[in-house]
Amino acid sequence: MAPPQPVMPYAPHHLRAALFALGCRLNQAELGHLAEQLRGAGFVIVPWGEPADLLIFNSCTVTAAAARKTRNLVHRARREHPNAFLVLTGCDATLATNAWAEDGVADLVVPNPDKHHWLDRLPDRLRLLPRAPTPRAQPTTHNYQPATPPSSDFTLPDFSLPLGKTRANLKIQEGCSCGCAYCIIPQTRGGPRSREFADALREVRELIEHGVKEIILTGINLGLYESGGRRLPEFLDALTDIPGEFRVRLSSLEPGPWLPAAVERLARRPDRFCPHLHLPIQYAEDRILAAMRRTYTFAEFATAVTDAVRRVPGLSLGTDVIAGFPGETDEIFAACLANLGTLPLAYLHAFHFSARDGTVAASMPAHPPSNVVKPRVAALEALSRICSDRYVTSLIGQTVTVLTEAPLPGGGWRGTSEQFLEVHVPDAPAATGHNQFLRARITAPADLRRALAAAGRV
């Protein structure tokens, strides 16, 4: 365990901070680190929406809808907390730094490269002085110049402890250089870089010592992880050597040459790694895949995931699909939908294409209109429901391990299984508590990505 960090003489104990993350698991992981920094500075962390002296909003801009939601939520936070000091960080703060400066709603805008190095920019009243009825600080973003993202390995302070102390997102990778035609992420998070091997393992150990029982490996492109010549498979191997009652889940993993080695680890150590992979195909037809600048054909993707399902018993396989990409026609979408129906999917996430300024796709011709794309998204969502029901039905009678997260209103517990299912166990033993592994037998599908289970008859 790392030596304790010195407490910074910034805030008296009664100052309150609330944090909110919009978007991906990486944003959530980063928010946990920010919370630990604030605790070290003397702040009390309170739930978002409660009165607070300091508000931290970790923003998203992966789609136009996410950017609009960021703007709406930030303005709402300002209306509800007019005297709080509001810090905006994350991808939308990085992409639209000047626009946020002109807006003036945030007191401080911190683009991604400096996300963990801004505490010294808080005003005096949030350092050494008690809360005072002084006017809100003027926006300090106008002269801010975003830093260049580092190209080498990085470390992170403290650890990202989730509020529920059950499932923690572990950031081990940042950035991407794949150049997909639709993606704005390289502009908001920079090129690929990885967390130092030892530092990532240090956080794993600290999280386990604090009671976390599921570690979710998180990054923009996990397959690009490399630290000191060690890549993702070696990091997975190192996780098997750490003692303790915990399991490891991979978050979204891009298809690529690293996939077979990751699958081999999942198959070899089911006691440590969850049988769950989320592999974003983005589309299931070769003409659109090529236009998207993806690096595989549908047949190659299908071969890879079929092999993964064959090698990992009960593998829960999820994917992402974008409807409405430029050039998509009725015929192409029909082929995509048919191809997806042949894959051994447990679920899929459907997205309406969102043109982002600065991406290749934004300037492509033949954008399908929204009234055409919406029914296509609905068709993808309907297929996801079919896949989910089929997958959960295939598990009926099988025993799963549920990590308990909350009591059910009528008794029993709900939690998350190793297959990434929300499982309800109404007859959980009376002694069952929060953050425990509970063995239960699947009895029926409940809803999308949910299942009913029985305990005590395993």
Instruction: Work out the pLDDT band at 163, boundaries 50, 70, 90.
Output: low
Angular region, 379: left φ>0, alpha ψ -120 to 50, beta rest: alpha
Domain ranges of the chain: 16-126, 155-274, 276-395, 396-454
Superfamily of domain 16-126: Methylthiotransferase, N-terminal domain (3.40.50.12160)
Determine whether domain 155-274 maps to CATH 3.40.50.2300.
Answer: no
Domain 396-454: give its CATH code: 2.40.50.140
3 has pLDDT over 80: no
Average pLDDT over residues 429-454: 89
Question: Is 37 in contact with 47 (CB distance < 8 Å)?
Answer: no
pLDDT in tens, 71-91: 999 999 999 999 999 999 999
**Axis-axis angle for helices 298-311, 259-268 (nearest 10):** 20
Query: Quick one: which of 99, 226, 217 has its CA closest to 167?
Result: 217
Tokens 């409405």 — which residue? 324
Q: Do domains 16-126 and 276-395 have the same CATH topology?
A: no
Dist CA 117 CA 241 (whole Å): 32
119 has pLDDT over 90: no
So what's the pLDDT on residue 36?
86
pLDDT in tens, 364-401: 999 999 999 999 999 999 999 999 999 999 999 999 99
10 has pLDDT over 50: no
Instruction: Work out the pLDDT band at 32, boundaries 50, 70, 90.
Output: confident
Tokens 């920094």 — which residue? 37
Instruction: Work out the pLDDT band at 13, boundaries 50, 70, 90.
Output: low
Dist CA 151 CA 158 (whole Å): 22
Looking at every residue in the chain, the average pLDDT score rounds to: 88
Question: Is 17 in contact with 46 (CB distance < 8 Å)?
Answer: yes
Instruction: Work out the pLDDT band at 113, boundaries 50, 70, 90.
Output: confident
Alpha carbon distances (Å) from 87 to 12, 54, 137, 168, 311? 19, 8, 11, 24, 46
Determine whether domain 276-395 maps to CATH 3.30.750.200.
Answer: yes
Query: Any idea which of 36-40, 168-172, 324-328, 441-445 has the lowest mean pLDDT?
Result: 36-40
Query: Quick one: which of 209, 207, 150, 151 has its CA closest to 33?
Result: 207
The type of residue at 457 is R
| Tokens coding 109 | 């805008």
Alpha carbon distances (Å) from 157 to 33, 94, 203, 216, 313? 7, 21, 9, 18, 37
Dist CA 342 CA 26 (whole Å): 31
pLDDT in tens, 216-251: 999 999 999 999 999 999 999 999 999 999 999 999
Average pLDDT over residues 141-150: 38
Question: Is 327 in contact with 364 (CB distance < 8 Å)?
Answer: yes
Question: Is 195 in contact with 160 (CB distance < 8 Å)?
Answer: no
What lies within 8 Å, CB to CB, of 235 at 6+ separation is 172, 197, 200, 217, 225, 227
So what's the pLDDT on residue 162?
74
Higher-pLDDT residue of 149, 429: 429
Query: Quick one: which of 86, 80, 93 has its CA closest to 136?
Result: 86
